[in-house]
Amino acid sequence: MSAAVPVALRTSVAEAAATGMPFPTPVLTDLSTWLTVHTSGNVTWRTGHVELGQGNRTALAQMVAEELDVAFEKVTLVMGNTNVTPDQGVTAASSTIARAGVQARLIAAEARATLLSMASKRLRAPVTELSVKNGVVHHGRRKVSYGQLVHGKALTAVTPIVINGQGTTVGATPKPFSEYTLVGRSIPRVDVVDKVSQKAAFVHDITVPHMLHARVIHPRGIGSTVVSVGQLPAGSNAQVVQLGNLVAVVAKQEWDAVKAAANLPVTWSDWNGLPSTEDWPAAMRATPAKVVTHASQGDFDSAFASAASTLTATYQTPFENHGMIGPSCAVADVRPDGSVTVWSATQYPQGLRNGIAQMLNVSTEQVEVLWVDGAGSYGRLCSNYDDAASEAVFLSRELGKPVRVQWSRADEHIWEPHGPGTLHDMAAGFDESGNVTAWKHDAFMAPNNDSTMLGPILVGVQGSSTRTPVGSWTGPDLYQFPNLLELAHQMPEFGAATSPYPFGLRTTFLRSPGQHQITFAQEAFADEIAAATGQDPLQFRLQHLTDARAIAVLTAAAQAGKWEARPSPKRDASTSNGTVTGQGISFVLRDGTYAAAVVKLEVTPATGKVLLTEVTVAQDQGQIINPRAIEHQISSCVLQTASRVLHEEVKFDTANVTTVDWVSYPLLRMDETPTINTILVPNPQIAPSGVGEPAVNVMPSAISSAIFDATGVRLRTMPFTQEVVKAAMG
C-alpha cells in the first residue's frame, strides 16, 4: 500500500483554480497533489469540489479513469478535505464538470504521460510503441503495471500547469473523444447504494468523542439584540452559553438541549426594519440603487417612441428558501492549542476554512475542514460560509469540547439566506408588420451574494465581509433586436441600513442565481410579444436567433414535445373533465449549456389548480460524460423549479420571516409531478459544460405561457398558486 501524503498546492495555483485568472507563465505543481497510484493499481484522486447530489463522485472518476486508462472501479475520490485536497474554488451546480472536471482530465492526461515515460525506461521502448489497458503498460509481450512503476510511492513528477478562464492546460494532450470507452456511458452513481441502504453518513450523523449538543436561540427579529437571558428550570441537564448576542443551550444529550432551548426565557429588543411581504416591491423601487447597463444597442428611446405599437409588462419573482430537507448542522472541535477541525456540508471547504481562521484569529494551517454529505444545499452553503459551523466553533472554543450545532426547521426557514425577490420592467415596440424594433429590460434585484456567517456577527468579533450587491446580469443575450437596452439596479438588503448587524434580510445564491429570474421575465415577455403580434411562440424565437446550437435545441424540444405551431392562446382549450390545457416553450443559454423546454399542463378553472402533465427538455451541454446523470439533473431541475413556480414564497412581516415550516412554505408533492422527457443533443467535440442549472431557467416562463395558452390569462407574479390562478381567472 502507498503511504504517500500529497503536497499542498502552491498559493498561486490554488488561487488560479478558484478564480480562473490566467497566468503569463506555467506554474509548477507536483502530480502528487492530485493523485496517488497505489501498488495495487488503485488510484486515489483528490478534488476540492464536493458531491451535491449531482453525481460528481461518479462523473469525475469517469474522466480520471478515462485519461489514465484504468478501470472505473480502480478510481476513488477524496473530496473536500482541506488538509489533502487542492483549492479548486466553490462547487456550484454548473461548475464541477466544466471546471474541476476539465482540470482532472488534463492533469490525469499529464499523469498518464509521466507514467508512460517511466514505463518507456523500464521496458526500454519508445513511448510511441507503448499501449495501456486497465492500468497496465504493454510493449508486445512485455508489460508493467502502474503500481509496479511507482513502487507504492507518490507520483512526484512535477508538471507545468496553466489555469485560465477556459480550463487547465498542461504539456500532455488528452485523448480524442473518438477513443473514449468510459466517458459517455451511463455508469451507475457510486454513492446511491449506500444512501438508499442507510450506510452513508451525512453531516447530521457525525459524532465525535466527548461531543456536546447545542441549540441556538436566534434573535426574535433580524436586527434584535439580547436584553436579558433567564435561567433554566431546576434539574435541567443543559447549560446556558451567552457570547454577545449568540445565545445557546448545550447538553450531553440532544433532546435535553432541544427541551432546554424551548424553555429558556430570552428577551430581545424590538426591531422592525423590513417592509412587509405586500410592501416589498414598492420598497424596492423606492430604494436608492446603482444602475448598471448590461447591454445597449442602437437607440431604444427613439425606436420605442416611434414604434407603430408598444407593449409593457412587469414581472415579479418572490423571495425563496433553498428548502434543504435536513436543516443546517455542523460539528466543530476547537482545541486548546488553537487547532480546529470542522465537519461540514459546505460547498466550499477551503473558503470555510479561511473564514473560520479569520473569525478565530488563527492561521489557516491550524484549521481543517472535513466535508461530509449534506441534505441538498442548492447554494445554501455556497461561497465561504456555513452558519451552523460558525456558531459551533465559538461554542466549542468557549466550552473546550467538540460541539454539534443542529438547527431546527424554523431556524432554517427563518435564518437561511434566501433566494432574492426581483422585479422586471419590460418594454417592446413593433413596426406595422409586427417586427420588434425596440426592447428594454429594467431589472431590480436584491443581492444574491451574501456570504456573511451568523456566528462571528452574533458574537461580535467580526463584521460582514465587504461585498458588492450583485443585482447585475446573468447570461448572454442571443435574440437579435436592433434597438436594445438592459439595465440592472443593484439593490441593498432590506433592513441592512437600520440593523445593528451588517446584514438585513439575507439573500444569496439559489440554484441558477439571477438567471432564473431574468430568463423568466425575458422568455415570458417574448411570448407576450408573439401573442400580441399573432405569431407562433417557437417561430418568433427562431426568427430572432442566429446561434446554430440554440436553434438546434429549440427544434429538438419542439419535435420531441409535439409542439403545436400556432399563436397563443389556444382557441378551444377545454377538455371533457372540466380542465383546460395549454403549451409553453422557453429557451436559455446558461454557463455554456443550451436548454429548451416544452411544457404541457392543465388548469382547473373552478379551483385554479395547475397540473403539469408533461415536460420535455432538450439540452446541449457539449461533450456528454454520463447520460443518465445528466437526465437525472434535468429531472431535478424540472421538479425543483416547478415547486418554486407553483408554491414557494418566503413571507415576512416588519421584523422577520413568517413562513417557518412546510405548511406555510409548501413544496411540490409527488402527485403533482409530470412526465419528464429528456433529449441530449450530442456535441462531443465541445468541452463539457454545466448541467445542474440550465433546465431550471426554462421552467417559469414555459409554465406561465402554458397557463396563458390554456386560459388566456397572463400571470407575471410568482408563485402561481391555486388562489392566484383562480383570482386571475375572475
Provide mean pLDDT across the span 189-208. Answer: 93
d(Cα 376, Cα 52) in Å, to the nearest integer? 6
Q: Are 534 and 709 in contact (CB under 8 A)?
A: no
Quote the pLDDT of residue 445.
Answer: 87
C-alpha grid cell for residue 647?
Answer: 408554491
> Per the domain annotation, does 501 fall within a domain?
no
Quote the pLDDT of residue 159.
Answer: 66
47 and 177 housed in the same domain: yes
> Per the domain annotation, does 4 fall within a domain?
no
Q: Would you say residue 165 has pLDDT above 60?
A: no
C-alpha grid cell for residue 154?
Answer: 507518490
What amino acid occupies position 8?
A
Q: Would you say residue 173 has pLDDT above 80?
A: yes
Quote the pLDDT of residue 137.
Answer: 98
d(Cα 257, Cα 51) in Å, to the nearest integer? 31
288 and 265 housed in the same domain: no
Of 166-175, 311-320, 642-651, give the lowest mean pLDDT range: 166-175
Domain boundary (189, 222, 255) is at 189
395 and 543 housed in the same domain: no
Provide mean pLDDT across the span 520-537. Answer: 97
Q: Would you say residue 22 has pLDDT above 70?
A: no
Quote the pLDDT of residue 102.
Answer: 86
367 and 459 housed in the same domain: no
Q: Would you say residue 19 has pLDDT above 50?
A: no
d(Cα 449, Cα 440) in Å, to the nearest integer? 25
Rama region for 208: left / alpha / beta (φ>0; ψ in -120 to 50; rest)? beta
102 and 70 housed in the same domain: yes
pLDDT bracket for residue 166 (50, 70, 90): very low
Domain boundary (157, 189, 221) is at 189
Quote the pLDDT of residue 100.
Answer: 87
**pTM, two decimal places:** 0.93
d(Cα 240, Cα 212) in Å, to the nearest integer? 12
Helix axes 515-532, 699-711, angle to 10 degrees: 30
Alpha helices in 217-367 (DSSP H): 254-263, 280-286, 300-305, 349-360
Q: Would you say residue 396 has pLDDT above 50?
A: yes
d(Cα 123, Cα 269) in Å, to the nearest integer? 77
Rama region for 712: left / alpha / beta (φ>0; ψ in -120 to 50; rest)? left
> Per the domain annotation, does 702 fall within a domain?
yes
Quote the pLDDT of residue 93.
Answer: 66
Q: Would you say residue 451 has pLDDT above 80?
A: no
Q: Would you say residue 291 has pLDDT above 50?
A: yes
Residue listed under C-alpha cell 412587509: 276
pLDDT bracket for residue 466 (50, 70, 90): very low
225 and 303 housed in the same domain: no
pLDDT bracket for residue 378 (50, 70, 90): confident
Quote the pLDDT of residue 646.
Answer: 98
Quote the pLDDT of residue 474.
Answer: 61
Alpha helices in 91-228 (DSSP H): 102-123, 146-150, 192-196
Quote the pLDDT of residue 16.
Answer: 39
Name residue 588's beta-bridge partners.
Answer: 595
Domain around 363? 203-270+322-415
Quote the pLDDT of residue 314.
Answer: 98
d(Cα 233, Cα 713) in Å, to the nearest integer? 58
Provide mean pLDDT across the span 495-499. Answer: 92
Q: Would you say residue 154 has pLDDT above 90?
A: no
- Neighbour tally for 417: CB within 10 Å: 28
> Per the domain annotation, does 660 fall within a domain?
yes
User: Residue 425, Cα to own-chain centre: how many angstroms?
Assistant: 26
Q: Are 660 and 647 in contact (CB under 8 A)?
A: no
Element (H, E) at 525: helix 515-532
Q: Would you say residue 365 has pLDDT above 50?
A: yes
Mean pLDDT across the chain = 91
Provide mean pLDDT across the span 154-168. Answer: 61
Q: Classify strands 167-169 and 367-371 as parallel, antiparallel or unpaired.
A: unpaired
Quote the pLDDT of residue 258.
Answer: 97
> Per the domain annotation, does 73 fall within a domain?
yes
443 and 554 housed in the same domain: no
pLDDT bracket for residue 170 (50, 70, 90): low
Q: Would you say residue 590 has pLDDT above 60?
A: yes
Provide mean pLDDT across the span 362-368. Answer: 97
705-729 CB burial, b ≥16 within 10 A, e <16:
bbbbbbbebbbbbbbbbeebbbebe
Quote the pLDDT of residue 14.
Answer: 39
Domain boundary (167, 189, 211) is at 189
304 and 449 housed in the same domain: yes
DSSP 96: I
Give tens-digit pLDDT for 629-680. Answer: 999 999 999 999 999 999 999 999 999 999 999 999 999 999 999 999 999 9
Between residues 541 and 491, which one has the greater pLDDT?
Answer: 541
Quote the pLDDT of residue 15.
Answer: 39
Quote the pLDDT of residue 28.
Answer: 59
523 and 542 housed in the same domain: yes
Q: Would you say residue 465 has pLDDT above 60?
A: no
Q: Would you say residue 11 has pLDDT above 70?
A: no
449 and 395 housed in the same domain: no
Q: Would you say residue 2 has pLDDT above 50?
A: no
Quote the pLDDT of residue 92.
Answer: 82
Q: Would you say residue 345 has pLDDT above 70?
A: yes
Name residue 28's beta-bridge partners.
Answer: 160
Q: Would you say residue 591 has pLDDT above 90?
A: no
The set of residues, in sequence order, having a beta carbon less than 8 Å from that of 561 and lying 6+ positions away, is 583, 585, 597, 598, 600, 614, 616, 677
Between residues 594 and 2, which one has the greater pLDDT?
Answer: 594
pLDDT bracket for residue 472 (50, 70, 90): low
Number of folded domains that form the chain: 4
Of 106-110, 183-187, 297-301, give the lowest mean pLDDT range: 106-110
d(Cα 27, Cα 690) in Å, to the nearest integer? 27
Nearest alpha-carbon partner for 310 in 540, 544, 528, 545: 528
Q: Are 188 and 196 in contact (CB under 8 A)?
A: no
d(Cα 158, Cα 28) in Å, to the nearest integer? 6
Quote the pLDDT of residue 255.
Answer: 97
Element (H, E) at 705: helix 699-711
Q: Would you say residue 730 has pLDDT above 80?
A: yes
Provide mean pLDDT across the span 596-604. Answer: 98
Give tens-digit pLDDT for 216-267. Answer: 999 999 999 999 999 998 889 999 999 999 999 999 999 999 999 999 999 9
Quote the pLDDT of residue 17.
Answer: 41
Provide mean pLDDT across the span 315-328. Answer: 96
Q: Are 687 and 101 in contact (CB under 8 A)?
A: no
Measure the N-to-C terminal CA separation of the chain; round to a whole number of Å: 73
Quote the pLDDT of residue 155.
Answer: 79
Quote the pLDDT of residue 103.
Answer: 87
Q: What is the CATH number of the domain that holds 400?
A: 3.30.365.10
What amino acid occupies position 190?
V
175 and 218 housed in the same domain: no
Q: Would you say residue 6 has pLDDT above 50?
A: no
d(Cα 291, Cα 466) in Å, to the nearest integer? 19
Provide mean pLDDT across the span 286-303. Answer: 93
Nearest alpha-carbon partner for 569 in 684, 707, 674, 437: 707
Rg (CA), the chain: 27
Q: Classify strands 403-406 and 329-334 as parallel, antiparallel or unpaired.
A: antiparallel
Looking at the chain, the whole-number percentage of residues with pLDDT higher than 90 is: 79
CA 620, 622, 626, 627: dihedral to nearest 10 degrees? 20
Biggest CA-to-CA distance, the chain:
84
C-alpha grid cell for residue 715?
Answer: 400571470
Quote the pLDDT of residue 161.
Answer: 61
Residue listed under C-alpha cell 497510484: 37
Of 136-140, 279-283, 458-462, give the lowest mean pLDDT range: 458-462
> Per the domain annotation, does 340 fall within a domain?
yes
409 and 426 housed in the same domain: no
> Per the domain annotation, does 504 fall within a domain?
no
Between residues 90 and 279, which one has the greater pLDDT?
Answer: 279
The set of residues, in sequence order, having a beta carbon less than 8 Å from that of 652 and lying 6+ positions away, is 274, 276, 277, 319, 505, 658, 659
> Per the domain annotation, does 169 fall within a domain?
yes
User: Residue 267, Cα to own-chain centre: how many angstroms?
Assistant: 37
